[in-house]
Amino acid sequence: MSSHQITFAYWVPNVSGGLVVSKVKQRTDWSYEYNVRLAQAAEKSGFEYALTQIRFTAGYGADNQHESVSFSHGILAKTEKLKVIAAILPGPWKPALAAKQLATIDHLTNGRIAINVVSGWFRGEFDAIGETWPEHDERYARSEEFIRSLKGVWTQDNFTFDGKYYQFKDYTLRPKPVQKPHIEIFQGGSSRAARDMASRVSDWYFTNGNTPTEIKKQIDDIREKAKANHHHVKIGVNAFIIARDTEEEAKAVLQDIIDHADKDAVNAFHGATREAGAASNEGEGNWAKSTFEDLVQYNDGFRTNLIGTPQQIAERILELKNVGVDLILSGFLHFIEEVEYFGEKVLPLVRQLEEEQKQILQDKSA
Ligand SMILES: Cc1cc2nc3c(=O)[nH]c(=O)nc-3n(C[C@H](O)[C@H](O)[C@H](O)COP(=O)(O)O)c2cc1C
């Protein structure tokens, strides 16, 4: 049982269609104006992080998507406390430019930028923009070099690195980022290669939604390896949250989202994930076991089952925390109003349960 408070993040809807592959009516909007209002509501409601997504072309339904780093900076400019995690894709991004660009944003925002290094799952996107498509584990080998390069450039003078993908020679970046030791580095992906990379170099491991039992297996695996590497990794889990005054209402919203699924888009996405996952030898990658219904939320967010009343959701969040989860990455149907509802109704219950648990621990050790 852990005594620190669990952290909350939300997905920035910088893509049209929100966080579900469904034609259900949504009051979420991908515009800058909506996202600024959302970010301001989220920081007031107790969210510490927001995560922007990167897609050069969408594999499922969405017509429009804003670029992640510039969009993150736009949100940071209009907020005060929120940290925004920008997704970065090695391949299109090179570490020298990423390191320089992010160090500047870190200065402009007083140390509130972070990054999510994603290794790519959609081959069509890479083909469309003329990027090569290394095999699954090679993509992670490249991402690991990418992260080692960023860390080196951000923390050392006269940085030299002779990798398979990236090289630096006696390079000194000025100014270094504001954050010390460096800008926080998240990563996305659940396969063997993703977990091994996390256990070596990432500050945070983001994984798709799942049950506490399945999440625990991943966490135990990563933490054991990380320990052997003298490295500590924090864990973030995706969840599509549907909090309503009654369980029936919440379940009805889920059913409505699934009933309106964009079937062609979900099936196309399924095909693309098979291609991405097939390349991970052990078959444990994200989406390896996803059903059609799971894929209506593109990071398996229904599986985490934060769907019900505030009390039910708060209790399930505590269960996740107790298997070692540090952060809940949340998606919502109608973002602004649901982020506010979450801050008002769910978060205080989570804090209360955490407090009660802490008390029990203290009493036991007294
Ligand atoms: C929380 C989270 C966020 C992600 N964000 C993006 C993204 O913005 N763009 C992208 O191309 N892939 C994104 N991914 C996909 C991963 O980087 C990775 O390619 C995918 O999960 C498949 O990995 P695996 O087969 O190694 O498990 C994300 C994954 C997770 C878990």
Q: Print burial letters for 35-55: b (CB count within 10 Å at least 16), e (below 16).
A: beebbbbbbebbbebbbbbbb
pLDDT tens by residue, 237-287 = 999 999 999 999 999 999 999 999 988 888 888 877 776 654 455 666 777
Q: What is the mean pLDDT of residues 288-315?
A: 92
Separation between Cα atoms, residue 8 and residue 201, nearest integer Å:
23
Residue 103 included in any domain: yes
pLDDT of residue 290: 85
* Position 293 pLDDT exceeds 60: yes
| Residue 224 domain boundaries | 7-365
DSSP string of 351-362?
HHHHHHHHHHHH
For residue 220, report the distance from its CA to the centre of ligand 1, in Å.
21
The count of domains in the chain is 1
* Position 223 pLDDT exceeds 80: yes
Mutate which of 89, 93, 116, 138 to test ligand 1's pocket (most atoms within 8 Å of Cβ)? Answer: 116
Residue 113 included in any domain: yes
* Position 161 pLDDT exceeds 90: yes
Residue 2 included in any domain: no
* Position 33 pLDDT exceeds 90: yes
pLDDT tens by residue, 180-201 = 999 999 999 889 999 999 999 9
- CATH code for the domain of 42: 3.20.20.30
For atom 4 of ligand 1, the residue with the nearest CA is 188
For residue 206, report the distance from its CA to the centre of ligand 1, in Å.
8
Residue 85 included in any domain: yes
Q: What is the mean pLDDT of the chain?
A: 94
pTM: 0.95
| Cα-based torsion angle of the residue sequence 287, 290, 296, 301 in order, rounded to the nearest 10 degrees | -70
Write down how long the chain is: 366
Strand partners, 335: none
Residue 196 included in any domain: yes
pLDDT of residue 2: 54
For residue 52, report the distance from its CA to the centre of ligand 1, in Å.
12
Q: What phi, psi does 187 have (nearest 5°)?
A: -140, 155
Residue 64 included in any domain: yes
Residue 1 included in any domain: no
When pLDDT is cut at 50, 70 and 90, the band that residue 95 belongs to is very high
Q: Which residues line ligand 1 (CB under 6 A)?
A: 53-55, 87, 89, 116, 118-121, 188-191, 193-194, 206-208, 238, 276-277, 280, 285-286, 299, 329
Q: What is the mean pLDDT of residues 353-365?
A: 92
Separation between Cα atoms, residue 353 and residue 351, nearest integer Å:
5
* Position 140 pLDDT exceeds 50: yes
For residue 54, report the distance from its CA to the centre of ligand 1, in Å.
9
pLDDT of residue 219: 96
The single residue listed with the structure tokens 């008390």 is 359
pLDDT of residue 279: 47
Residue 121 included in any domain: yes
For atom 3 of ligand 1, the residue with the nearest CA is 188
Burial class (CB in 10 A: 0-12, 13-18, 19+), 211: middle
Beta strands in the chain (DSSP E): 7-11, 49-51, 83-88, 113-117, 159-162, 167-171, 185-188, 204-207, 234-240, 242-243, 307-308, 327-331
* Position 59 pLDDT exceeds 70: no
Q: What is the mean pLDDT of residues 157-186?
A: 98
